[in-house]
Amino acid sequence: MRTPLNRLPAARLARMIAGHEVTCEAVTHSFVDAIKEHEPDVRAFAWFDAARALSTARELDIGDWRGPLHGLPVAVKDNIDTADIPSEYGSAIFAGHVPHADAACVAALRSAGGYVAGKTVSAELANFTPGPTRNPYDFEHTPGGSSSGSAAAVAAHMVPFALGTQTAGSVIRPASFCGVVGFVPTRGLVPRSGVKAVSDTLDVVGVFARSVEGAALVAAAVALWPELQHAPSKAAPPSIGWTATPWAAQLAPSMRAALERVARLLATRGARVREIAWPYDANANGTAFAALADAQATVQLFETARGLGPELQYRSDLLSARLATMIEEGRAISADGYVRAIKVGRECAASVDTLFGSADVLFAPSAPGDAPHGLGSTGDPQFNRPWHLLGAPQISVPVPRDFAHGESGLPLGLQVVGRPGDDVRTLAAARWVEQQLETL
């Protein structure tokens, strides 16, 4: 039986379109049909126009080839501006807001031949108050957040890939919960112009796909770094340092078991694998890597309070109580406390080899466990915070469910983490890990 187009990997679809094996319109039809089938249950989209998507695909079929994403539909998180398409940031404050210009990352996608098929649900102003999206594997469980709709749309085969943003764990955690690949590049690699700001220090544009190759394809386009696209082809057994992190006691038994089981598997497949010990002192000044998680939370609260302060001051009636409280907590943090937290991140980043040692990449949990039951929370970003303050590239790779799954039977993800700026090697290592898991 022929595999439906919407279930083929993004990179393969791109090659088929480039080789005139299939039309852009046929590809779009397949995804439109999937959206019509699954969206009533999953609720991943804040905006979608089937007629517009099909019209755009037909135009791409008769036009010149534009680039590596030619003819592929892309879903964009609702906190990222899209020209002439609603961008409401997951907030009633911005209901009906339609930007006149694309965010820089969206403009890059269009230049590479992709087009915006829909806007995906974001938690309120890319924070922690969830929208209506449900986990495609079990509608009673959260898909994670704040990039909830992007992760769910890719998991339900309603788009080949999607853009999200991460301030703490808003790409990696939902990717883990929804059983897809999530990639957060080195901080600053993808321009943030046109993205509704939460934290000047921490906001990063990331990518969801169903394979490392697909994530690399999109990341190369939005970062204007073609080498990223070819990184997965360089896959070879890496040197891996695995870690349950200093917060291992917070892991669900299933996640801890999956981490150790996959680490043992990778060692049998040729990787140099060892468990790393977290150094208490990153340098002579005594900065501890274990302080990264708390420092990230401090930076996020402090900068969120300033970034979203006008919304609380002028439109508090349209803010959730949860976000209003978070902004007030951020306002209570002293400038000295904020500067100390920033210093922790910078000193640890400067001494990152103390943590990595001889390892090419680190291997760690993407979340405490599988997706929690209920839709009132997006889950805990504790296992994302330290890597994100470092500004490191992070890739969540799903573990096959018949090999390891969570207590509720839902997907688990494990993340490959690289040194800041080492995105090519990190993608290659993640692809090698993915290849080993694909053979199970």
Which one of the listed residues 30, 77, 91, 150 is annotated catalytic? 77
Which helix (H) or strand (E) covers residue 219, if one does? helix 212-223
Which one of the listed residues 87, 146, 147, 396 is annotated catalytic? 146
Does 87 qualify as catalytic in the annotation?
no
Closest to 85 in 3D by CA, of 70, 74, 93: 74
CA count, 13 A, side-chain hemisphere, 68: 21
Which phi and psi angles does 75 have, rounded to 5°?
-100, 140
Does 77 qualify as catalytic in the annotation?
yes
**Tokens, residue 209:** 């796909």
Q: 274: which strand partners?
A: 241
Does 199 qualify as catalytic in the annotation?
no
The DSSP string of 95-117 is: TT---SS--HHHHHHHHTT-EEE
User: Is residue 143 a contact partner of residue 178, using CB atoms and an 8 Å limit?
Assistant: yes
DSSP 226: T
Question: How many other C-beta atoms can be found within 10 angstroms of the C-beta atom of residue 321?
Answer: 9
Q: CA 199 → CA 214, 306, 339, distances in Å?
A: 28, 8, 14
**Tokens, residue 366:** 């993407």
User: Is residue 106 a contact partner of residue 62, using CB atoms and an 8 Å limit?
Assistant: no
User: Is residue 331 a contact partner of residue 305, using CB atoms and an 8 Å limit?
Assistant: yes
Counting other chains too, the contacts that 30-33 makes at CB distance below 8 Å and 24 or more residues apart are 30/4, 30/5, 30/6, 31/5, 31/6, 31/73, 31/117, 31/157, 31/158, 31/159, 31/160, 33/6
- Residue 336's contacts (CB-CB under 8 Å, 6 or more residues apart) are none
Which one of the listed residues 30, 91, 148, 170 is annotated catalytic? 170
Pairing of strands 204-209, 181-184: antiparallel
- The one-letter code for the residue type at 204 is V
Could you give the angle at the alpha carbon of 181 between the alpha carbons of 386 and 356, nearest 5°? 35
Q: What is the largest CA-CA distance in the chain?
A: 63
- Residue 334's contacts (CB-CB under 8 Å, 6 or more residues apart) are none
Burial of 170 (0-12, 13-18, 19+ CB in 10 A): buried
- Residue 64's contacts (CB-CB under 8 Å, 6 or more residues apart) are none
Q: CA 226 → CA 68, 217, 223, 389, distances in Å?
A: 10, 8, 8, 26
Cα 282 from Cα 299, distance rounded (Å): 19
| Active-site amino acid positions | 77, 146, 170
